[in-house]
Amino acid sequence: MKDIAIRLNGQVRRLAVNPNETLLEVLRGKLGIKTPKEGCGRGDCGACTVLLNGKAVRSCLILAVEADGQSVTTLEGVGRAGPTALQKAFIRSNAFQCGFCTPGVVLAASALLAEKPAPTELDVREALAGNLCRCTGYEAMVKTVMAAARKSNRKRSSSRRSRP
Amino acid sequence: MSISCEFDYAKPDTLRDALGLLARHAPHGAVPLAGGTDLVAWLRDGAVSPGFLVDIKELAELRGIRRKAGHLWLGANTTFAEIMASPLVRRHAPILAEAAGMVASVGVRNRATIGGNICSAVPCCDSGPALLVYDAVIHVATLGGARRIPIRKWFLNPRQTALTQGALVTGISLPVAKHAGAFAKLKRYRGEDLAQASVAVRVDARGDWRVAYGSVAPTPIRGPKVERLLRGDLKPSSARRKEAAAVAETEVAPITDIRGSQIYRRLMVGVMLRRAVHLAAARRAGRGPAYGTNILEEDAP
């Protein structure tokens, strides 16, 4: 067993893990974090997406020991202070059905918007290309991410204009 | 499903320590771990069962992208996301940047490294054809000292390279020279997939063409017959491109598998080669779509 410390959703969590446990297994089985899902278990579906030091990654392809000393954000951490503008947009436009892929999709889109606040539709499609959804056909998701980006950019630019 | 094999894990601070650990634990099957996007999947499949993992991903010696003495040097731990974003790579190795953008998905590209990609050495390895047309050199460290291996001698068989047990790839260098090129990757659908076939072409100011293929032989390979046919031709005509496509079909050896049939792959290599040559010639002349455009989705000639 190895002792590790992960900054999980802003809080340092210390625990012992076996080197052959994946980050996904440890999050779900030992840390009570249930939004990352195991879909394919081999990096193809994106249901296990988490943010590692702010970047979208596949938690099924990362050993928990590798996350020692790193910062991990899951959907539990994203909505802590109430739903984000992106989450509200997903709710408003009902851009999901069964919900299995939604945590991964929202995290992948959040990482994109953090890096590129005014993405093109192609950017959004590329950012979500690794998150498989068997319900929606993706169109609603792409439109929702674009709408959320436009809305926060309008807000940002109007607050900039109102500054003296 | 969990990983069933048991192994120990260490994350050394220096290259020397990493090589020492690999040597000391060689009897238990010591394996280096970089991005893990292949290795962790293989551990789960039981395709590999090492007794010891040496995590090399934060070794300073394996990081960075630098221009030095007529070469572009990429640390082995450079991720595909970093390659795509690097102004140095986009300027001096645009074909590699174009190929990097077609690797799997964002979530994989944020982790997967170029050193890991060439060490996994699967036939559909996305960086292989680009590195072949650049005549890349692989920098390898062993406890006995450093070695350089030309990319043409690197890939031996599926998942088998010229890297010896206990050695580590530290970086890859590419000669810097004015050129243009194109990379095309055929997939079953938009979005992420392994390549059914891929083609890289590079042309310089003298009309020296270099061609390489992926997914259509046991390893990524160069296309010497097409290179000879096109030599000196800066603006291959439509007839010449068709001729080159027919030759390309004869110098690949694809198999039939779940991602495509042998004949489909062979014929598509011709189509891709024809379009890639057209695009590379246009880019060399300062025209043509920007790098990163998927030519298989355009109405290319």
Domains and CATH numbers, chain B: 8-55 (3.30.43.10), 60-175 (3.30.465.10), 190-284 (3.30.390.50)
pLDDT (average), residues A40-50: 96
The answer to whether domain A85-157 has CATH 3.90.1300.10 is no
> What confidence category does residue B299 fall into, taking pLDDT thresholds of 50, 70 and 90?
low
**Cβ-defined contact of A130 to B81 (cutoff 8 Å):** no
Place of tokens 């590079």: B202
Alpha-carbon distance B182 to B33, whole Å? 31
Q: Is the pLDDT of residue B301 over 90?
A: no
Residues of B in contact with A108 (CB under 8 A): 106-107
Q: What is the mean pLDDT of residues A9-13?
A: 97
- Average predicted confidence (pLDDT) for chain B: 95
CB B271 within 8 A of CB B241: no
Burial of A147 (0-12, 13-18, 19+ CB in 10 A): middle
pLDDT at A1 over 80: yes
CA distances from residue B117 to A53, A105, B47, B100 in whole angstroms, order as listed: 22, 26, 17, 11
List beta partners, residue B160.
B157
Question: Chain B within 8 Å of A5 (Cβ-Cβ)?
Answer: no
Residues A12-22: what's their mean pLDDT? 98
Q: At what angle do helices A85-93 and A139-162 cross, to 10 degrees?
A: 140
Are A18 and B40 in contact (CB < 8 Å)? no
Cβ–Cβ < 8 Å for B218, B207: no
Q: To 5 degrees, how large is the angle CA B276–CA B279–CA B284?
A: 125
Mean pLDDT (whole number) for A97-123: 96
- Torsion angle defined by CA atoms of residues A126, B275, B183 and B288, in that order, rounded to the nearest 10 degrees: -70
A2 backbone dihedrals φ, ψ, rounded to 5°: -120, 140
Reported as a single tens digit per residue, the pLDDT across B195-234 is 999 999 999 999 999 999 999 999 999 999 999 999 999 9
Name the residue of chain B whose CA is nearest to A54's CA: B110
Question: What are the E-state strand segments in B152-191?
Answer: 155-157, 160-161, 168-175, 179-186
- Interface touch A55/B81, C-beta < 8 Å: yes
Give me the residues paired with residue B197 across strands.
B186
Alpha helices, H only, chain B:
15-24, 39-45, 80-85, 87-92, 94-100, 106-109, 114-120, 127-133, 224-230, 238-250, 262-284
Looking at A115-119, A122-126, A151-155, B73-77, which range is the least confident one?
A151-155
Q: How many residues does chain B have?
A: 301
- Closest partner residue to A42 (CB to CB) among B8, B44, B191 is B44
Model ipTM value: 0.94
Classify domain A2-77 by CATH number.
3.10.20.30
- The answer to whether B44 contacts A58, with C-beta atoms less than 8 Å apart, is no
Q: What is the arithmetic mean of pLDDT over B9-19?
A: 98
Domain with CATH 3.10.20.30 in chain A: 2-77
- Please tell me the pTM assigned to this model: 0.96
3-state secondary structure of B290: coil
Nearest of B150, B123, B138 to residue B220 by alpha carbon: B123
Reference B284, options B203, B175, B211, B227; nearest CA is B203
pLDDT by residue (tens digit) across B83-123? 999 999 999 999 999 999 999 999 999 999 999 999 999 99
Give the residue from chain A lying closest to B103, CA to CA. A130
Looking at A66-70, A154-158, B292-296, which range is the least confident one? B292-296
Is the distance from CB of B194 to CB of B259 less than 8 angstroms? yes
Query: Does residue A130 belong to the interface with chain B, where contact is any CB pair within 8 Å?
Result: yes
Instruction: Give B 132-191 residues with CB within 8 A of chain A.
Output: 190-191
Contacts of B53 in chain A (CB under 8 A): 19, 63
B135-172 confidence digits (pLDDT tens): 999 999 999 999 999 999 999 999 999 999 999 999 99
Q: Smallest CA–CA separation between A3 and chain B, in Å?
A: 12
Please, which pLDDT band fits residue A78 given cuts at 50, 70 and 90? very high
Q: What is the mean pLDDT of chain A?
A: 94
